[in-house]
Structure 1
Amino acid sequence: MTNLARILEGRRADRGDAVGLYGDDGRQWTFEELDLIAGGVAESLRAQGIGPGDRVACYLTNGPEIAFFLFGAWKLGAVPVTISSLYNESELAESLAKTAPKLVVSSTLDISARASVAAVDVDPGAEACILFTGGTTTGRPKAVSVTHGGTRSSLARLARVSTGTDAEGTAAPDAKPNLIALPLFHSGGQHSLLFAFHVGRAAVVWERFGVDRLADLMERFRFDNFFFLPTMVFDIVHSPRELPFEGVKSVLVAGQAISWTVRRAFEERYRVPILVNYGSTEAGHIAGWTGRDMKAGLWKPGSAGRVYPGVDLEIRADDGTALGVGEEGEIVVRSELTRGYVDDAEASKDLVRDGWVHTGDMGYVDGDGVLFLVGRKRDMIKCGGFQVWPEEIEDELRAHPLVRDIRVLGRPDDRLGEIPVAQVVREPSELPDDDLSRQLVEFAREKLAHFKAPRRIEFVPALERSAAGKISRVGGPA
C-alpha cells in the first residue's frame, strides 16, 4: 500500500461514483474517471520508455492536469519533478539541470485516453517526488527528494490529529470538497490534494489564488475549511469584497508565520478561527492546533502548536546537544520523509544527519509539549553581539496603521557587524516618507529593545515573493 497512487485506487474502490476532482472552469471527474485518466497517462508515459525510478518533469499551468500527471507517474513507480509554470526559461533550465529527468511534460496533457492500470509496488524509502523549496543561505531553490513511505506517514499523522483516525476514506459521503489553494508544484498543494483523497474528500483545483476567484468558488462549493498561506489571508483581509465565510469552521495557515495584526483582523471580520500548522517540505507535519484543542482550552497565543503525537522532536544547541524545556535552539525532527537535496550533497549532509532533519528553524518547547518558534537560523541578525530575529520586528511594525506589508533584512555595518533594515510597503497617506520613517523607528523603539529597532526604513512598492507566496529575504536594495 506504500505507493501514493494507491490512495486514489482506494477511493475508486470505495466511492468510485463520487466526484473526486473539480476544476475551477466547471469540469469535474469521479474518482473512477480520475483513476482511469491517470492510467491513460501512465500508459502514455510507459510508451515513452518511462518506468520505475525514472524522473519525469512536469512544467504545466496549475490545474487538474497536474493531478492526472502525478498519479499516472506514481502508478508506474516513476518520480514526478514538479516545476513551477511561473519559472522563466533560465529557471526552467536550471531546474532540469539539477534533477536530470528522462522526460519533460510541457504541454497540455491528452486526458481522453483511459486505462485501468494498477500501481506497482514500491519500497517505502523509494523516491516519490522532487519538489523545489527555498530556505538556503544562497536563496536558490533546492530540489528536495521525498519518499512514498514518508509521505504516507505524514498524511496519516495529520489525519490522526485532525479527524481522530489515520484510516483512509473516513469522510462522510456528503462531505464538502477541499479547495487546494496552493499550487500542485508546491509541497503544500500536493499534500493538500493527497490529504483530501486520503480522508475521502473531493478536491477543487484552480490555476492560482485570487480573492474574486475564491469568492466565486465559495459561493459554488460552500467549503467548510481552508488551508491558506499567510499571504492569502493578508489579501483577504485587505480586500473590500466581503467573502461568504458562513459555514467555514476553521482556516489552517502554514508555510510561514502569520502576523498577529493580520490574524486578528481576519478573525474579527469573519468570526472564523485561524489554526496553525508547522512543518516543512523536508520534515512533514510537526506541530499545530486543532479545533478540539481550541475547545479544550489548550491553545497558547504566539505558539506554533502542540507537537503532534508520533513526532520525535528535539531542540538542539549549535554543538548538537539536546536542550531542555524552555531552552532555545534549532528544531530537529526524526523523519523518513526526505532523502535530501538531489542537487547539493553538502547541503543534504547538513539537512539530514543520522535520520534527523535539521529544519533551520529556531524555537523551544514548553512543559506542555507546545512548540514556540523564534525565527530562522539563517535569518538571524547579529547586531552588536545581540541576536535579532526579523520576524519579531515585523510583527511589531505590522501593527502600525500605515504599514501594509514589511520584511526585515540584515545589512552589513562596520561598527555593529549587522543592522536590521525594514523594507516597508506603506498604506496611502499624505505623510511624507521621511516623517513616516522616523515615526516607524520610534514606534519600534517603544515596543522593542533598542538593539532590535530597525536602523533604516526603505519604502518599496511591493515585496518580492516566491511562486508559493512566501516573502523572500534575499536581495533588495543595499
Structure 2
Amino acid sequence: MINLAGLIEGRGDRTGLYGEDGRSWTFAQIDRIAGGVAEDLREHGIGPGDRVACYLTNGPEIAFFLFGAWKLGAVPVTISSLYNADELAESVAKTEPLLLVEHGTLSFTREADVPAAAVDADTEACILFTGGTTTGRPKAVSVTHGGTRASLARLAKVSTGTEAELSAAPDAKPNLIALPLFHSGGQHSLLFAFHVGRAAVVWERFGVDRLAALMERFRFDNFFFLPTMVFDIVHAERDLPFAGVKSVLVAGQAISWPVRKAFEERYHVPILVNYGSTEAGHIAGWTGRDMKAGLWKPGSAGKVYPGVELEIRAGDGTALPVGQEGEVVVRSELTKGYVDDAAASAELVRDGWVHTGDTGYVDADGVLFLVGRSRDMIKCGGFQVWPEEIEDELRTHPLVRDVRVLGRPDERLGEIPVALVVREPDAAVPDAELAERITAFARDRLAHFKTPRRVEFVAALERSAAGKVSRTKETSA
C-alpha cells in the first residue's frame, strides 16, 4: 500500500516537507501529523474503504490529509479548491464520500503514532478527477494502491537507473511540487519525491515571481512543469535563476517546438518529456541519459518504459504492426475505472487494457509518437485534421503569442478548423489584417484542408484547474 512510514524508514529526522511560507516538517513529523489526521477522521466515523473528500487550498495540509486517510485504509477524494459551489456539489454527488474536509474540519497540528492499516494491492487508494472525456466534464478516476506503487517504481527505475527506493543522496535538493495535490501529477510528484528519498516543497499555485523566490531559496536541480508553465516562464520579462538546474520534465500536454526552443536557448537547460495519464500511469519518456546517448528523437513522446505493455490498435481492436497509426492501449493495474460512469469505465478498461484515447504509432526502436487525441480530431470534408499540427505551425508566426485550434460545425464540410489566437501587441497591424496574414501563413505551410477557415482573437486561452489549455470550452475575447 501507499505507506509513508515504509518510504521514510531511516530518514525520520530529515526535513521531508516545506511550505512556501517558511514552515517545514521532518519525515517523522509528517508521519505523526498524518497519525493525528487519522485519529480525527476515525472520530468522524471514517474507517477502511470509506471515501473522504478533501476541498482544501493547495498546501502541506493536503499531504497530511492524504497520508492520514491512507493510514486508516480510507480513500481520499481530492477535489480542486478552484471549483465553485456547483462543481463541488457535482464532485461530491459523483463520488459519495462520507465526509467532506474543508479548512477547520480537521486539526493539522495534532500528532499521534498510528500504524498503517494493511490493504490489498488492488484496493481503491484514491479518487482523482480528470477532464479526459468526450463531453469535457471531469470524470472521477479510481486508482489502486498496487498500481500507484508500481507506477512510481517504474518511473524511479527509469529516472534513477536503480530499482532501490530511497535512492537519492541524503543531501539531495528538494523537489518542487509544481502541480496541485488535487491533481494526479501533483500527487505523483509528491509520492515520487518521497519514494526516492527527497524532500518536497508545496506551494499554493504556480506563478513566475513565486517560482523565482523559491528557486533562490532552495536551489532546485530539476523541475516537473506543465507546458503552460514553461510558456509563462519563456514570456516573462525577468530572468529566473536556472543555474544548477539539470533538466526540466514536461508532461500533461505536448509542448510546442517554438516554446521548447525559446526556453532551452534562454536558459540552456534541456527539456525532457514524459507521457502518461491519470488512468494509465507513466508510459513513455526521455531521460537525461537518453539525451546524452543521442537517443532522443524530435517530435516523439518518448521511449516506451521497460515493463510497460503497450499496443497500437485499430478501430476493430486488432494490434497493429510497427509504424502504423492507431489508438494507444496499455495494460495497467493502476485504475479501477470511473466511479461515476459505468459505460465510460467499460470503454476505458477492457480486459485489463486501458484505452488512452490517444492516436499514435511506435517505431522500430520502441519510441512512441503521438498524432493527437481521438476526441480532438477535426473531420473536415472527409480529411482528418489534428489541432496540434496547426497550432505548432501558427506559433511560429511572429505576432502569435499562443493559439488553440478547435473544430466548429459546418454545413458543407462537417467541421472546419478555427484558430483562437492570443496575439502579440502591434498597433500597426489591426486584427482584420492580421487574421488574413495568419490564414495566408498557414496556407503556405499546411495542406488546404488544415488551414483555419477562421481566425478569432482572444485575450487569453481557457485553462483547466490544473493549468492545461482547455479544448472543451470556448474562450471569450
| TM-score normalised by the chain length of structure 2 | 0.98
Q: Which of 84, 87, 90 is equivalent to 1:88?
A: 84
| Residue 434 (structure 1) aligned with residue 417 (structure 2) | no
Q: Which of 161, 164, 168 is equivalent to 1:167?
A: 164
Secondary structure of the equivalent of 2:375?
A: helix
Q: Which of 258, 261, 265 is equivalent to 1:264?
A: 261
- Name 1:28's counterpart in structure 2: 24
User: How many residues are paired up?
Assistant: 474
Given that 2:460 and 2:475 are in contact with CA atoms closer than 8 Å, whether structure 1 keeps it comes out as no
- Name 1:450's counterpart in structure 2: 448
Q: Which of 35, 49, 52 is equivalent to 1:56?
A: 52
Q: Which of 57, 70, 84 is equivalent to 1:74?
A: 70
Q: Which of 236, 244, 266 is equivalent to 1:247?
A: 244
Please give the root-mean-square deviation of Cα atoms over the aligned residues, in Å: 0.9
| Residue 402 (structure 1) aligned with residue 399 (structure 2) | yes
- Name 1:104's counterpart in structure 2: 100
Counterpart-to-counterpart distance in 2, 1:11 and 1:467: 29
Secondary structure of the equivalent of 1:13?
A: coil
Q: Percent identity?
A: 81
How far off is 1:112 after superposition? Answer: 1.9
Secondary structure of the equivalent of 1:14?
A: coil
What CA deviation, in whole Å up to 9, does each residue of 1:39-79 have, x standing for no partner? 00001101111111000000000000000000000000000
Given that 1:11 and 1:31 are in contact with CA atoms closer than 8 Å, whether structure 2 keeps it comes out as no
Q: Which amino acid aligns with 1:152?
A: R
How far off is 1:13 after superposition? Answer: 2.3
Given that 1:365 and 1:371 are in contact with CA atoms closer than 8 Å, whether structure 2 keeps it comes out as yes
Report 1:301-316 matches (<5 A).
301-316=298-313
Given that 2:128 and 2:142 are in contact with CA atoms closer than 8 Å, whether structure 1 keeps it comes out as yes
Report 1:225-236 matches (<5 A).
225-236=222-233
Report 1:12-27 matches (<5 A).
12-27=8-23
| Residue 208 (structure 1) aligned with residue 205 (structure 2) | yes
Counterpart-to-counterpart distance in 1, 2:454 and 2:8: 58
Q: Which amino acid aligns with 1:280?
A: S
Q: Which of 304, 317, 320 is equivalent to 1:320?
A: 317
| Residue 178 (structure 1) aligned with residue 175 (structure 2) | yes
- Name 1:387's counterpart in structure 2: 384
How far off is 1:254 after superposition? Answer: 0.1
How far off is 1:11 after superposition? Answer: 4.2
How far off is 1:477 after superposition? Answer: 6.6
Secondary structure of the equivalent of 2:10?
A: helix
What CA deviation, in whole Å up to 9, does each residue of 1:5-57 have, x standing for no partner? x2x20344211110000000000000000000000000110111111100000
- Mark the runs of 5 or more structure 1 residues left unpaired by the alignment: none
Report 1:369-380 matches (<5 A).
369-380=366-377
Given that 2:380 and 2:413 are in contact with CA atoms closer than 8 Å, whether structure 1 keeps it comes out as yes
Q: Which amino acid aligns with 1:26?
A: G
Secondary structure of the equivalent of 1:379?
A: coil
Q: Which is further off, 68-77 or 160-169?
A: 160-169
Runs of 4+ in structure 1 displaced over 2 angstroms? 10-13
Secondary structure of the equivalent of 1:340?
A: strand
Q: Which amino acid aligns with 1:376?
A: R
Secondary structure of the equivalent of 2:233?
A: helix
Q: Which amino acid aligns with 1:454?
A: P
Report 1:117-128 matches (<5 A).
117-128=114-125
Q: Which is further off, 109-118 or 320-329?
A: 109-118
- Name 1:366's counterpart in structure 2: 363
Secondary structure of the equivalent of 1:424?
A: strand
How far off is 1:165 after superposition? Answer: 1.5
- Name 1:277's counterpart in structure 2: 274
Counterpart-to-counterpart distance in 2, 1:166 and 1:113: 35
Counterpart-to-counterpart distance in 2, 1:454 and 1:146: 39
Secondary structure of the equivalent of 2:13?
A: coil
Counterpart-to-counterpart distance in 1, 2:334 and 2:8: 26
Counterpart-to-counterpart distance in 2, 1:29 and 1:340: 35
- Name 1:468's counterpart in structure 2: 466
Counterpart-to-counterpart distance in 2, 1:115 and 1:475: 46
Q: Which amino acid aligns with 1:188?
A: G
Counterpart-to-counterpart distance in 1, 2:7 and 2:348: 35
Counterpart-to-counterpart distance in 1, 2:254 and 2:475: 24
Given that 1:409 and 1:421 are in contact with CA atoms closer than 8 Å, whether structure 2 keeps it comes out as yes
| Residue 129 (structure 1) aligned with residue 100 (structure 2) | no
- Name 2:290's counterpart in structure 1: 293
Counterpart-to-counterpart distance in 2, 1:402 and 1:42: 54
Q: Which amino acid aligns with 2:434?
A: L
Counterpart-to-counterpart distance in 2, 1:375 and 1:444: 19
Q: Which amino acid aligns with 2:420?
A: Q
Q: Which amino acid aligns with 1:344?
A: D
Secondary structure of the equivalent of 1:279?
A: strand
